[in-house]
Amino acid sequence: MKKTTMASLAAPFVLATGVAGISERLYQYAFKRVNQVPETSAEKQKYASVYYDYVKWLRDQPTETWMLHEDDPQQQLVATYLAATPASKQTVIISHGYKGNGETMANYAQLFHELGYNVLLPDDRAHGKSAGRYITFGWLDRLDYLDWLKRIINHDGEEVRIVLFGVSMGGATVEMMSGEQLPDQVRAIIADCGYSSIDDELVYLLKRNFHLPKYPFLPAVSAINRRRLGFNLNQVSSVAQLKRNHRPILFIHGEKDVFVPASMLEENYAATQGPKVKWIVPNATHAESFWVDPAAYQQHVRDFLQQYVVDSTPLPIAE
The predicted-structure confidence for 73-82, as pLDDT tens digits, reads as follows 999 999 999 9
**Do 189 and 209 reside in the same domain of the chain?**
no
Distances (CA, A) of 83 to 64, 79, 192, 273: 8, 13, 23, 32
- How much is the pLDDT for 10? 39
Q: Residue 294 domain-assigned?
A: yes
Query: Are the beta carbons of 103 and 51 closer than 8 angstroms?
Result: no
Does residue 13 have a pLDDT over 60?
no
Domain containing 12 equals 1-32+203-231
**Whole-angstrom Cα distance, residue 20 to residue 11?**
14
Query: Are the beta carbons of 193 and 260 closer than 8 angstroms?
Result: yes
Confidence grade of residue 202 (pLDDT, cut at 50, 70, 90): very high
Q: Residue 109 domain-assigned?
A: yes
pLDDT tens, position by position, 128-137: 999 999 999 9
Does residue 8 have a pLDDT over 90?
no
**Residues paired with residue 90 on neighbouring β-strands, in sequence order:** 161
Q: Residue 316 domain-assigned?
A: no
Query: Are the beta carbons of 237 and 199 closer than 8 angstroms?
Result: yes
Query: Are the beta carbons of 202 and 233 closer than 8 angstroms?
Result: yes
Angle between helices 217-229 and 2-31 in degrees, nearest 10: 60
Q: DSSP label at 32?
A: B
**Do 25 and 60 reside in the same domain of the chain?**
no
Average pLDDT of the chain is 92
**Do 71 and 185 reside in the same domain of the chain?**
yes
The CATH number given to whatever domain includes residue 253 is 3.40.50.1820
- How much is the pLDDT for 18? 82
Distances (CA, A) of 63 to 89, 103, 118, 260, 274: 17, 12, 10, 32, 34
**Do 128 and 87 reside in the same domain of the chain?**
yes
pLDDT tens, position by position, 253-284: 999 999 999 999 999 999 999 999 999 999 99
**Do 220 and 250 reside in the same domain of the chain?**
no
**Do 6 and 59 reside in the same domain of the chain?**
no
Sorted by sequence, the CB contacts under 8 Å of residue 144 that are 6+ apart come out as 68, 77, 122, 124, 125
Radius of gyration of the chain (CA): 21
**Do 125 and 270 reside in the same domain of the chain?**
yes
Query: Are the beta carbons of 52 and 44 closer than 8 angstroms?
Result: no
pLDDT tens, position by position, 143-193: 999 999 999 999 999 999 999 999 999 999 999 999 999 999 999 999 999
Sorted by sequence, the CB contacts under 8 Å of residue 233 that are 6+ apart come out as 198, 199, 202, 218, 221, 222, 225
Domain count, the chain: 2
pLDDT tens, position by position, 14-34: 345 588 899 999 999 999 998
What share of the chain has pLDDT > 70, as a percent?
Answer: 92
**Do 10 and 114 reside in the same domain of the chain?**
no
For residue 183, whether the previous peptide bond is cis, meaning omega lies within 30 degrees of 0, is: no
Range 258-261 contact pairs with CB under 8 angstroms and sequence separation of 24 or more: 258/208, 258/285, 258/286, 259/168, 259/193, 259/205, 259/285, 259/286, 259/287, 260/168, 260/193, 260/194, 260/195, 260/201, 260/286, 261/204
**Whole-angstrom Cα distance, residue 211 to residue 234?**
21
pLDDT tens, position by position, 32-47: 998 889 888 777 899 9
Please name the helix (run of DSSP H) or strand (run of DSSP E) that holds residue 118, with its range, or none. strand 118-123
Q: Residue 37 domain-assigned?
A: no
Q: Residue 315 domain-assigned?
A: no
- How much is the pLDDT for 89? 96
Domain boundary among 188, 212, 231: 231
**Do 90 and 218 reside in the same domain of the chain?**
no
Q: Residue 9 domain-assigned?
A: yes
Residues 9, 13, 15: CA angle, nearest 5 degrees: 115
Q: Where are the alpha helices (DSSP H) in 71-191?
A: 106-114, 141-156, 169-177
Does residue 222 have a pLDDT over 90?
yes
**Do 181 and 67 reside in the same domain of the chain?**
yes
What is the full DSSP assignment across 157-203?
-TT-EEEEEEETHHHHHHHHHTTS---TTEEEEEEES--SBHHHHHH
Q: Residue 162 domain-assigned?
A: yes
**Do 21 and 108 reside in the same domain of the chain?**
no
**Do 281 and 208 reside in the same domain of the chain?**
no
Report pTM.
0.92
Length of the chain: 319
Q: Residue 123 domain-assigned?
A: yes
Residue (of 194, 295, 292) closest to 250 by Cα position? 194
